[in-house]
């Protein structure tokens, strides 16, 4: 139903930024009309109400706009801009056309703040922005806004104007009752109120108000975390409110001295002696929902947030917020991590960065507090399990050595670091990570090592190295499936007989079955990426396994790798290398407590070992930690001893490779003694070599009888055109014997030296 209103003969023009009720108040005063009569005349009338905010101040309907336009001539768009709907979605929100949503970050509360000087200069006209919970300072007059009447001390405009009285702009309308026009009003001139004035336009309070205005107006921020960002104004205001509420609730004035200027802090102490409100939960809840009653309270809260959010990055902002998390902990407000996760987005990242140093090391890894964007754990269990396939049970020594610390042996440190990698950005617990990796240490052991790491001065860099390594592995195609390696059956790995053969071939001292067992355990740990599965190993044996690289030579290492490949193939693992190490570039540039093995002098270590020094003394002479020396010798075995120091078997094999042995023994029919004399070794050594070559030895000095099939000989000699000496060597007989077989089978012989083309 449309509303019609007669044109009022006397008009008053609205002031820029004026609230609709302020303009109507001025119009009523100009026409000497009771407030209720004026509202009825312009189409906004109705029964008297005790509401502090008329419904048409929230949003004016189309019919009301038409009626008001007809009565005053003011354009409907101008009228709409004079209501709180002008700030819809930017500084407040409405549940309906007539009801405000107080869940929006600090929407309006009852009453209005004001600038006394603005009231004086404008004849008592009130700005719409003064009703916002986010307005606390006048930028024109560089002062803090006033909150109450200087006479009766009641809140400004907290109650509806009396319908039966003529408004007096700029005066306090507070009365004891609103239904009786005979009750006297306060009438105090509001422009006489005294407020805090700032002499410098660059004062932090004025900067904060301009900063808030930019957010509300949707302008890009010049500095801080939200500069050039994509965050919406509501999200930014939510972050400001979250920090401000907790600063007002938990911080004592002394903790605010580095953030709030002394002039504002004096007003804050005077007006709010009951703060902080951490013990008054009702006040805390009210601050979360409604804007603070006073401008000084709002200003202090916004400054506390601005001190943090005006930093260039999240970590810097977290450093500046840490005072508040410390204050909250001091007042027992943070029994668990999630209590601090107030809002999502940048604010949550800042809160986690601030809380980081106070968290357990495992939680620091989960929330990634050392990164530029800390966040709530997001990696799923499936992603964690996928990552575990890329991680050995004991972290690669190349990556654990730079993280070495006093009080933690490498075996425990490597196990704990592998567990720690699964915690990065994931909500899994230590017990689950330990179980996935089949770790030799339990969750208490892993936690103890992480706590030792946290106590180191280099902990921030250690934390960053673990985080970066987890990301690197997540994005890298690791060629070894360590989850599969952990489940292989290693009982058939490196039997004693194979070990002895390898030792003979590589001129290595076998040292009996004891050394074979040590070598077997060493190779199992190399392949599985974890500790050996052999039960009940004594500490002395474990020490020998760790020291096994001392006995490695390039030849022995290559032979063990060859056997390892054969073993993997027997376990149906045919597509993986024996060993793998990720690049250590993720640790470059970080100051870590251990040593970088890439910087060690391997040549010096080899030199001292070849001089006969034991491993410990050689490492000491080379300036290398013993654990680093073991790793280096495993990756870069010490070269073999000089010529002349080799064993008889090695010399025999070097002198007589298999094809030469066959030529001398089977083709030329030389005796084993003759061949041994040529090699300079015993007949027994040569017999052992023949056995390893799988060559049958003659008995009684006569070569064994062999049968040469006619079909094979015809195909090789006639069809393929091969020579008799060549075929004789292949069969291990003399050329004359092969000729006799050809004649016996009726195969025509070619002339001596002659060849025949293979049959086409």
Q: Which residues of 53-74 are buried (b: 16+ CB within 10 A; e: fewer)?
A: bbbbbbbbbeebbbbbbbbbeb
| pLDDT for the residue 679 | 77
What whole-number percentage of the chain has pLDDT above 70? Answer: 90
Burial of 502 per CB tally in 10 Å (0-12, 13-18, 19+): buried
Give the pLDDT confidence score for residue 333 in this predicted structure: 63
Exposure letters 184-217 (e unless 16+ CB within 10 A, then b): ebbebbbbebebbebeeeebbbbbbbebbbbbbe
How far apart, in whole angstroms, are the C-alpha atoms of residue 424 and residue 406? 24
- Sequence-ordered list of residues with C-beta below 8 angstroms from that of 402, at least 6 positions apart, any chain: 465, 584, 587, 592, 593, 594, 595, 596, 597
| DSSP-assigned beta bridge partners for residue 189 | 171
Report the C-alpha gap between 35 and 165 in whole angstroms: 6
Other residues' Cβ atoms within 10 Å of the Cβ of residue 635:
16
Q: Among 218-222, 394-398, 565-569, which is the least confidently predicted range? A: 218-222
Measured in degrees and rounded to the nearest 5, phi and psi for residue 309 equal -80, -10
Tokens, residue 356: 């980081």
DSSP strands (E only) in 429-554:
none
> Residue 744, CB half-sphere, CA atoms under 13 Å: how many?
12
What is the pLDDT, as a whole number, of residue 2? 54
Distance between CA 187 and CA 175 in Å, rounded?
Answer: 9
What pLDDT, on the 0 to 100 scale, is given for residue 641?
Answer: 56
Mean pLDDT across 238-262: 89
Per-residue pLDDT at 730: 80
Give the model's pLDDT for residue 469.
95
pLDDT band at 346 (very low <50, low <70, confident <90, very high): confident
Name residues whose C-beta falls within 8 Å of residue 12's C-beta, 6 or more positions apart in sequence.
Answer: 23, 26, 27, 30
pLDDT for 695 equals 79
% helix, strand, coil for the chain, step of 5: 50, 5, 45
Q: Render pLDDT for 688-713 as a digit per residue (tens, 0 to 9).
A: 778 777 777 876 555 555 677 888 88
Closest residue by Cα to residue 103 from 234, 4, 232, 233? 234
Higher pLDDT residue, 661 or 592? 592
Mean pLDDT over the full length of the chain: 86
Answer yes or no: is pLDDT of 50 > 60. Answer: no
Q: Annotate 481-503 with DSSP letters as a single string.
A: -HHHHTTS-GGGSS-HHHHHHHH
Instruction: Give residue-wise pLDDT tens across range 677-692.
Output: 887 788 777 787 787 7
Rounded to an integer, the average pLDDT of 284-313 is 86
Which residues have CB under 8 Å from 399's CB, separation 6+? 417, 469, 581, 582, 584, 587
Q: Model confidence at 228, in pLDDT bands (50, 70, 90)?
A: low
Task: Look at the block and give the residue holding tokens 């407040």.
Answer: 92
* 338-352, 579-593, 667-681 — most confident range: 579-593
Q: Dihedral of CA 114/120/125/127: which sign?
A: negative
Contact 175, 184 (CB under 8 A): yes
pLDDT (0 to 100) of residue 644:
46
* pLDDT score, position 46: 59
86-90, 395-399, 535-539 — most confident range: 395-399
* Residue 545: predicted pLDDT: 92
Q: Is the pLDDT score of 48 beyond 80?
A: no
Average pLDDT over residues 336-348: 65
- Tell which wins on pLDDT, 438 or 338: 438
Residue carrying structure tokens 């002198």? 655
- Quick one: pLDDT band at residue 51, thresholds 50, 70, 90? low
CA dist 324 and 312 (Å) reads 19
- Residue 742, pLDDT above cutoff 80: yes
Q: Is the pLDDT of residue 283 over 60?
A: no
Q: How much is the pLDDT for 77?
A: 93
Predicted confidence (pLDDT) at residue 282 exceeds the cutoff of 70: no
Average pLDDT (95-117) is 82
Instruction: Give yes or no for residue 291 having a pLDDT over 80.
Output: yes
pTM: 0.75
∠ CA(284), CA(287), CA(293), 5° rounding?
125
Query: Who has greater pLDDT, 682 or 404?
Result: 404
Number of H helices, E strands in the chain: 35, 2
The whole-number average pLDDT for the span 386-390 is 95
Per residue in 375-384, pLDDT tens? 889 899 999 9
pLDDT digits (tens, 9 = 90+) for 130-153: 999 999 999 999 999 999 999 888
Calpha distance 654→648 (Å, rounded): 10
pLDDT above 50 for 759:
no
């Amino acid at each position: 139903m449309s509303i019609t209103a007669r044109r009022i003969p006397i008009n008053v023009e609205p002031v820029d930024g004026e609230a609709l009720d302020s303009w109507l108040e001025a119009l009523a005063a100009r026409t000497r009309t009771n407030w209720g009569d004026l509202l009825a005349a312009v189409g906004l009338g109705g029964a008297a109400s005790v509401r502090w905010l008329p419904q048409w101040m929230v949003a004016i309907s189309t019919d009301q706009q038409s009626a008001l336009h007809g009565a005053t001539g003011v354009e409907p768009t101008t009228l709409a801009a004079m209501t709180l709907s002008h700030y819809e979605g930017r500084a407040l929100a409405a549940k309906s056309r007539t009801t405000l949503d107080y869940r929006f970050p600090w929407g309006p509360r009852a009453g209005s703040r004001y600038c006394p000087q603005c009231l004086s200069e404008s004849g008592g006209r009130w700005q719409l922005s003064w009703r916002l919970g986010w307005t606390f300072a006048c930028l024109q007059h560089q002062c803090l806004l006033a909150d109450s009447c200087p006479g009766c001390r009641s809140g400004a405009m907290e109650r509806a104007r009396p319908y039966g009285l003529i408004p007096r702009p700029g005066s306090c309308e507070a009365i004891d009752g609103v239904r009786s026009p005979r009750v006297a009003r306060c009438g105090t001139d509001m422009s006489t109120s005294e407020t805090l004035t700032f002499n410098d336009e660059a004062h932090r309070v004025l900067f904060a108000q301009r900063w808030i205005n930019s957010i509300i107006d949707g302008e890009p921020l010049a500095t801080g975390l939200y500069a050039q960002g994509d965050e919406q104004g509501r999200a930014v205001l939510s972050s400001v409110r979250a920090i401000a509420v907790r600063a007002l609730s938990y911080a004592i004035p002394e903790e605010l001295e580095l953030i709030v200027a002394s002039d504002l802090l004096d007003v804050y102490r005077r007006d709010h002696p009951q703060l902080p409100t951490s013990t008054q939960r009702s006040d805390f809840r009210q601050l979360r929902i409604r804007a603070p009653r006073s401008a000084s309270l709002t200003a202090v809260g916004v400054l506390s947030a601005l001190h943090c959010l005006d930093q260039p990055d999240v970590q810097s902002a977290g450093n500046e917020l840490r005072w508040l998390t410390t204050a909250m902990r001091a007042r027992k407000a943070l029994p668990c991590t999630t209590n601090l996760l107030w809002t999502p987005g940048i604010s949550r990242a800042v809160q986690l960065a601030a809380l980081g140093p106070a968290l357990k090391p495992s939680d620091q890894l989960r929330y990634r507090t050392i990164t530029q964007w800390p966040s709530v754990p997001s990696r799923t269990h499936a992603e964690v399990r996928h990552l575990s396939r890329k991680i050995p049970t004991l972290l690669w020594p190349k990556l654990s050595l730079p993280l070495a610390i006093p009080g933690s042996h490498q075996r425990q440190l490597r196990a704990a670091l592998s567990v720690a990698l699964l915690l990065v950005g994931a909500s899994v617990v230590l017990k689950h990570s330990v179980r996935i990796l089949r770790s030799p240490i339990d969750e208490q052991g892993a936690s103890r090592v992480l706590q030792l790491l946290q106590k180191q001065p280099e902990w921030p860099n250690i934390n960053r190295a673990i985080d970066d390594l987890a990301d690197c592995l997540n994005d890298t195609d690791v060629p070894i499936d360590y989850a599969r390696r952990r489940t292989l059956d290693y009982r058939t790995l490196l039997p004693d007989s194979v070990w002895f053969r390898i030792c003979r071939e590589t001129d290595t001292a076998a040292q009996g079955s004891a050394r074979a067992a040590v070598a077997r355990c060493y190779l199992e740990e190399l392949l599985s990426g974890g500790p050996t599965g052999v039960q009940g190993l004594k500490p002395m044996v474990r020490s020998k396994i760790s020291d096994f690289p001392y006995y490695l030579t390039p030849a022995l290492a290559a032979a063990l790798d060859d056997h390892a490949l054969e073993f993997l193939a027997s376990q149906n693992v045919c597509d993986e290398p024996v060993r793998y190490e990720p690049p250590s570039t993720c640790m470059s540039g970080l100051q870590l407590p251990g040593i970088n093995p890439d910087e060690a002098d391997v040549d010096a270590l080899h030199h001292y070992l070849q001089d006969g020094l034991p491993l410990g003394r050689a490492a000491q002479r080379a300036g290398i930690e013993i654990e680093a020396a073991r790793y280096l010798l495993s990756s870069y075995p010490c070269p073999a001893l000089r010529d002349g120091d080799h064993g008889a078997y090695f010399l025999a094999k070097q002198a007589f490779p298999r094809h030469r042995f066959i030529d001398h023994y089977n083709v030329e029919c030389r005796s084993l003694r003759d061949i041994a004399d040529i090699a300079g070794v015993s007949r027994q050594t040569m017999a052992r070599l023949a056995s390893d070559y799988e060559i049958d030895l003659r008995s009684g000095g006569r070569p064994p009888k062999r049968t040469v099939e006619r079909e094979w000989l015809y195909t090789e000699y006639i069809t393929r055109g091969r020579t008799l000496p060549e075929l004789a060597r292949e069969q291990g007989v003399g050329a004359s014997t092969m000729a006799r077989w050809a004649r016996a089978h009726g195969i025509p012989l070619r002339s001596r030296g002659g060849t025949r083309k293979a049959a086409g």
